[in-house]
């Protein structure tokens, strides 16, 4: 299915957010995820079902002022 991941179009096989992270080679306990503008907790990624056109954000700590 086609998703938008961090602003880029992606064609993926994954059906859950957890599988998406694995498929796209994201790993790390420091990641935060959102689906269509809403936070998805790390423990909920396995049950977060993806649908065509979802907008996924995968964020990570960085320097800030």
Cβ(17)–Cβ(40) below 8 Å:
yes
Which one of 11-19, 33-41, 45-53 is the stretch in contact with other proteins (CB under 8 A)?
A: 33-41
Under the binding rule (CB under 8 A), the answer on residue 64 touching other proteins is yes
C-alpha distance from residue 36 to each of 18, 30, 48, 54, 64 (Å): 15, 20, 12, 6, 24
Under the binding rule (CB under 8 A), the answer on residue 61 touching other proteins is yes
| Minimum gap (Å) between residue 54 Cβ and other proteins | 15
Per DSSP bridges, beta strands 32-35 and 2-5 are unpaired
Residues of this chain that bind other proteins (CB under 8 A): 6-7, 24-26, 28-34, 37-39, 41-42, 57-65
């Amino acid at each position: 299915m086609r998703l938008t991941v961090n602003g880029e179009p992606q064609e993926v096989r994954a059906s859950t957010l957890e599988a998406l992270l694995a498929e796209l080679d994201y790993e790390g306990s420091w990641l935060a995820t959102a689906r269509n503008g809403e936070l998805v907790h790390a423990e909920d990624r396995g049950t977060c079902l993806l649908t065509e056109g979802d907008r996924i954000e995968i964020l990570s700590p960085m320097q800030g002022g």
